[in-house]
Structure 1
Amino acid sequence: MEPVAKPAAVDVGEFEIINSPDDHPPLQPTKGEAISPMGTIYIEAQVKPDYTGNVAKLTAMLEAIFNSEYVQTIQIDHEIIGAASYAECFFPDCLQSLKAVDIVGAKDGDEVILTKRYTIMVNSYKLEDRKAAETHEALSICGEAMLLPSIKLDGAWERLIFDEEIKQNLVVSMTNILRFSYRPGRNPMSVVNRLILLSGPPGTGKTSLSTSLAQKLSIRMNKKFGETILLQLNAATLLSHYFGQSAVKIHSIFEELAAQSVELPNTLMVLLIDEIESLAASRETASARSEVHDAVRATNALLTGFDMVKDNGNVFVICTSNLPGSLDAAFVDRCSRHINIPQPSSAARYEILRQSIYRLVECEIIKSPEIPLPTFVSAKCRLPVDYKTAGCALRRLAHKLEDNGANGQLVSARWLSQLAGIALANNLEPNAICTVDDAVQLMDRYVDRNCGRNNHREKGRKRYLRRLNQELSDTEDERSNTAKKLRHNPRMGSSHIQIDSYMFGNSDPGYMEETANEELAKLRQNKANKNAKPSHEEAQEIATNIRSEWEGHGGCECMFIIHNRILDYVEHGIPIDRYGFC
């Protein structure tokens, strides 16, 4: 059979969709019938640099493809172009990249998602490598106006690593705020202030998050706004360069911003103000200290400026601050959202370190590994033989950096992202071939030399490694004897604080089995059958109760492993401590 030839590209604008006699409108729920919750899958389609076609028509064609029978499933953050599972879709050749990037409005923990359960929203875009049109002299203080989405910020959003769902929540809330406020052809109305504040210690990624958010909004909102312009203003620089005139300059910036937003109603204007505390410092504190009045006038001008553009639905202002406690109360009150960006958690530290290693792999400074470094989720569920692998070593390093970085400073995302490069620059021999394992060891050595260490924790770690090596060197007959000895030798610290602890924390797996036996005895007594076996639901309940007790005695991240081991013991009698350590 001859292979099916790929059809030539067609201009979808020349066709109209005609309903066949068999087509019917979707069934509407009857009165009183519950409507199943449905979220939205957002798909981003990046076109090639030489594309000159109609983006709106391309978007309509892609949405038709994703709503057709040819696409049944999708994976988030997986490249669709070239994937075998989409071979019959015949995507246009003009596409550089095609990815599902987000699910909004519903939780789906499955790796593969059924598309029929969701609304499909496609945003097609082309990366810009040119400046925006000349701006007014008043806005020249903000530097060059950047046209978004920009090639300079391509991939910046994906490279940012934060805890919880800071990025997704930001995009959803900012998209809604812009949607509420943008009313083309109608009287302006400010439903919610399009002013947000990102605060946190230096180096946590506030500025990078702000510029990347602007880039993401330029893609997500491109069906409403044809263009997006980013203006960046450093408040400290403005105050120092125009001392005594800062209030006048601030007023002129917002005055011109308001005028341009009216002239360009279909252009989203994003103003990023870094170090806003320089312009929005508390006036009450300044008056009490008899400080320079220029700073007070600057704050007044800033607040007036925000009010000037509050009804302009295509103006969006992002502010960052390292000192949120010093900000004027009236400014904070005007912010629709105040988001604190914390220092990275253990999971975020691991992923930042992992990402920095792979950047050096891309630069061919580190040899590409045969086995990829695992994600944090994969690395935290390890077997005894895995403790010497680069993934586990990197995870121990991430936990080691919980308290202090170089010279006792707090560990910031910025410092973590540079750690691999700094460590290799200081310790790597010229022309040496560096593997991922070597890189992690050099990073660990650099941290030992330059960062504060807890000697008590380090001694405990060495004791653990000696015990683990003993466990691994035991023959099969000796292993149970070693395990029994270790059960009578309590460890210091709980496993969620000390990463080198066993996954059982301070709980004795033998005691867990005894508890399970007691629960089984009660169950059999209630059933008046000493040989009765628990149902799966009863076994799940017993396992959940014991696991909850384990969590209260220093449980670590291996919750599902512990739960399944208890379940195996309850249902099949398989020992809980059958593998020794995690």
Structure 2
Amino acid sequence: MVQRLISELGTLGKLENQIITSTSFPGLEDGIWENVAHVRLTGFKDKAGEGGGAKLKAKMYAYYMSDEEVEKDGVGDGEDGDTHSIVTLPHTSLAGQWESLHYSTPLQSRLLSYAEVSIKAASLGVNSSICSFNRVVLLHGPPGTGKTTLARGMAQKMAIRFGSSYSRSQLVEIHSHSLFSKWFSESGKKITQLFDRVEEECEGGDTLVVVLIDEVESLAGTRSCAAGEPSDGLRAVNAILTGLDRLKRYPNCLVVTTSNMMKEGGIDPAFLSRCDVRMFVGGMGEEARYGVLKEEVEEMIRVGVVVDSMLPNFDDAKIENLPLYELARATEGAEGRELRKIAMLGMVEAGGCEMGTQLDEFVDFMRRGWALRAEGE
């Protein structure tokens, strides 16, 4: 299948992250589209072969994406709440999130490699007292850089790659800020109950469990800063530290945390010492910004707002100084969350969802929309 795609569609660059369906590639294999929704080729790593050619080592993962309703719970109070949620993976709501992220460093490959090694080493029975690992990672950086999306996308990737090793996979997402504000007087107790629930999911070892603790500084702020109000703040930090220690004995559990405030004294040192890896998720470079904008325009092409056009890769766009590259340069300092709005701002400037707009004209609308947004800040 992969070799057929390469021979028909050409270079690897044209295949990267493309979603291939029965409409775009009807002749893939006789009868294959009866059971396959789409094919996505991703994660290319070129390796030079003899004569300078590229070697392709392909891995194929077949999976079914769940569309089950996300379970939300207020931690045993009988009321609807948003203190945590549980998603069966892979899930349709997370499809494409990993591929939508663009960074100037190999952040995604490093994170995924860490996650895979952590789970594989634990399943092999590596003695963590000798080769220390807690299967806890901290993603930190300014708001809007995609830390939460990165964590969710990684969980989806892990569920796909380990689909043959576990009967099911789940993402347990703990909303620290909501938990702390809603249950301030008894947050320590509620955190303990949450970790009880996570342990239930881990029991038996046949479920891959990824725990995402968003805005972890809300729960794991340094205890030295809580001297004036020691009761609940200290109990919350102690509860999360104890919870992490409890999860360490489950080889099928991985914990990912995020923080906007990873600064000296901002997060408790005891929590930081439990993190195997701390990864900084920073601003986007020129090439990463171009990738986001290119993806937005491709979506406009897909739905017919922009006429079908070939969008060059970053290097070619830079050499030719194309309008979309110029827009990427003009958005210096913008984060992914802001960049993702530019196509819609372009549609506003165009006066609506006019179908069949020429590429350069639409990029100009995007440029004008971005300029007006910047002026208003």
**Alignment partner, residue 470 of structure 1:** none
Q: CA deviation at 1:286?
A: 2.8
**Alignment partner, residue 257 of structure 2:** 319
Counterpart of 1:380 in 2: which secondary structure? helix
Q: Does 1:429 align with 2:347?
A: no
Judging changes above 3 Å, is the alpha-carbon distance between structure 1 residues 316 and 373 closer, same or farther for their aligned structure 2 residues?
same
**Alignment partner, residue 232 of structure 2:** 294
Q: CA deviation at 1:141?
A: 5.9
Structure with larger Rg: 1
Alpha-carbon distance in structure 1 between the residues aligned to 2:19 and 2:340: 25
Q: CA deviation at 1:197?
A: 0.8
Alpha-carbon distance in structure 2 between the residues aligned to 1:98 and 1:79: 6
**Alignment partner, residue 336 of structure 1:** 276
Q: Does 1:372 align with 2:310?
A: yes
Q: Does 1:399 align with 2:329?
A: yes
- 1:49-198 superposed matches below 5 A: 75=12, 77=16, 93-102=34-43, 107-108=47-48, 113-115=54-56, 118=57, 120-131=58-69, 142-182=83-123, 191-198=132-139
Q: CA deviation at 1:112?
A: 7.6
**Alignment partner, residue 444 of structure 1:** 367
Q: CA deviation at 1:182?
A: 2.2
Q: Verify the 8 A CA contact 1:74 1:114 in the aligned structure 2.
A: no
Alpha-carbon distance in structure 2 between the residues aligned to 1:111 and 1:253: 53
Alpha-carbon distance in structure 2 between the residues aligned to 1:447 and 1:94: 42
Q: Verify the 8 A CA contact 1:188 1:313 in the aligned structure 2.
A: no
Identity of aligned residues (%): 27
Residues 275-316 of structure 1, C-alpha deviations (whole Å, 9 max, x = no match)? 1110111112332xx245322221111111100111111111
Alpha-carbon distance in structure 2 between the residues aligned to 1:144 and 1:165: 29
Q: 1:247 aligns with which of 181, 184, 188?
A: 188
Counterpart of 1:311 in 2: which secondary structure? coil
- 1:15-30 superposed matches below 5 A: none
**Alignment partner, residue 236 of structure 1:** 177
* One-letter amino acid of the structure 2 residue matched with residue 396 of structure 1: E
* One-letter amino acid of the structure 2 residue matched with residue 200 of structure 1: G
Query: What do you get for the CA RMSD once the two structures are aligned?
Result: 3.5
Judging changes above 3 Å, is the alpha-carbon distance between structure 1 residues 133 and 430 closer, same or farther for their aligned structure 2 residues?
closer
Alpha-carbon distance in structure 1 between the residues aligned to 2:101 and 2:255: 21
Residues 455-514 of structure 1, C-alpha deviations (whole Å, 9 max, x = no match)? xxxxxxxxxxxxxxxxxxxxxxxxxxxxxxxxxxxxxxxxxxxxxxxxxxxxxxxxxxxx
**Alignment partner, residue 417 of structure 1:** 340
Structure 1 window deviating more from structure 2 (335-344 vs 140-149): it is 140-149
Q: CA deviation at 1:438?
A: 2.2
Q: Verify the 8 A CA contact 1:251 1:301 in the aligned structure 2.
A: yes
- 1:31-50 superposed matches below 5 A: none
Q: CA deviation at 1:94?
A: 2.6
* One-letter amino acid of the structure 2 residue matched with residue 397 of structure 1: L
**Alignment partner, residue 282 of structure 1:** 222
Q: 1:219 aligns with which of 132, 135, 160?
A: 160
Alpha-carbon distance in structure 1 between the residues aligned to 2:306 and 2:38: 27
TM-score by length of 2: 0.82
Counterpart of 1:269 in 2: which secondary structure? strand
Residues 417-462 of structure 1, C-alpha deviations (whole Å, 9 max, x = no match)? 112212432x223565533222221222233344369xxxxxxxxx
Q: CA deviation at 1:336?
A: 1.0
**Alignment partner, residue 14 of structure 1:** none
Q: CA deviation at 1:255?
A: 2.4
Alpha-carbon distance in structure 1 between the residues aligned to 2:246 and 2:28: 52
Residues 232-288 of structure 1, C-alpha deviations (whole Å, 9 max, x = no match)? 1111100000011001111111123223311x411011111111110111112332x
Q: Verify the 8 A CA contact 1:361 1:368 in the aligned structure 2.
A: yes
Q: Which consecutive unaligned segments of at least 5 residues does structure 1 have?
A: 1-61, 404-410, 454-582
**Alignment partner, residue 361 of structure 1:** 301
Q: Which consecutive unaligned segments of at least 5 residues does structure 2 have?
A: none
Q: Does 1:308 align with 2:246?
A: yes
TM-score by length of 1: 0.55
* One-letter amino acid of the structure 2 residue matched with residue 124 of structure 1: A
Structure 1 window deviating more from structure 2 (306-315 vs 432-441): it is 432-441
**Alignment partner, residue 141 of structure 2:** 200
Alpha-carbon distance in structure 2 between the residues aligned to 1:363 and 1:90: 27
Counterpart of 1:250 in 2: which secondary structure? helix
Q: CA deviation at 1:228?
A: 0.5
Judging changes above 3 Å, is the alpha-carbon distance between structure 1 residues 171 and 330 closer, same or farther for their aligned structure 2 residues?
same
Q: CA deviation at 1:322?
A: 0.6
Q: CA deviation at 1:137?
A: 5.0
Alpha-carbon distance in structure 1 between the residues aligned to 2:167 and 2:331: 45
**Alignment partner, residue 202 of structure 2:** 261
Alpha-carbon distance in structure 2 between the residues aligned to 1:436 and 1:100: 26
Q: 1:345 aligns with which of 278, 285, 288?
A: 285
Which structure has the higher relative contact order (CA within 8 Å, separation 6+)?
2
Q: Verify the 8 A CA contact 2:166 2:208 in the aligned structure 1.
A: yes
Judging changes above 3 Å, is the alpha-carbon distance between structure 1 residues 211 and 179 closer, same or farther for their aligned structure 2 residues?
same
Q: Verify the 8 A CA contact 1:74 1:112 in the aligned structure 2.
A: no
Counterpart of 1:155 in 2: which secondary structure? coil
Judging changes above 3 Å, is the alpha-carbon distance between structure 1 residues 291 and 126 closer, same or farther for their aligned structure 2 residues?
same
Alpha-carbon distance in structure 1 between the residues aligned to 2:120 and 2:145: 29
Counterpart of 1:443 in 2: which secondary structure? helix
Q: Verify the 8 A CA contact 2:71 2:87 in the aligned structure 1.
A: no
Alpha-carbon distance in structure 1 between the residues aligned to 2:76 and 2:100: 34
Judging changes above 3 Å, is the alpha-carbon distance between structure 1 residues 111 and 241 closer, same or farther for their aligned structure 2 residues?
farther
Q: Does 1:273 align with 2:209?
A: no
Judging changes above 3 Å, is the alpha-carbon distance between structure 1 residues 318 and 447 closer, same or farther for their aligned structure 2 residues?
same
Q: CA deviation at 1:134?
A: 10
Judging changes above 3 Å, is the alpha-carbon distance between structure 1 residues 312 and 398 closer, same or farther for their aligned structure 2 residues?
same
Judging changes above 3 Å, is the alpha-carbon distance between structure 1 residues 141 and 353 closer, same or farther for their aligned structure 2 residues?
closer
* One-letter amino acid of the structure 2 residue matched with residue 304 of structure 1: T
Q: CA deviation at 1:123?
A: 2.1
Q: Verify the 8 A CA contact 2:72 2:84 in the aligned structure 1.
A: no
Alpha-carbon distance in structure 2 between the residues aligned to 1:148 and 1:223: 13
Alpha-carbon distance in structure 1 between the residues aligned to 2:71 and 2:210: 15
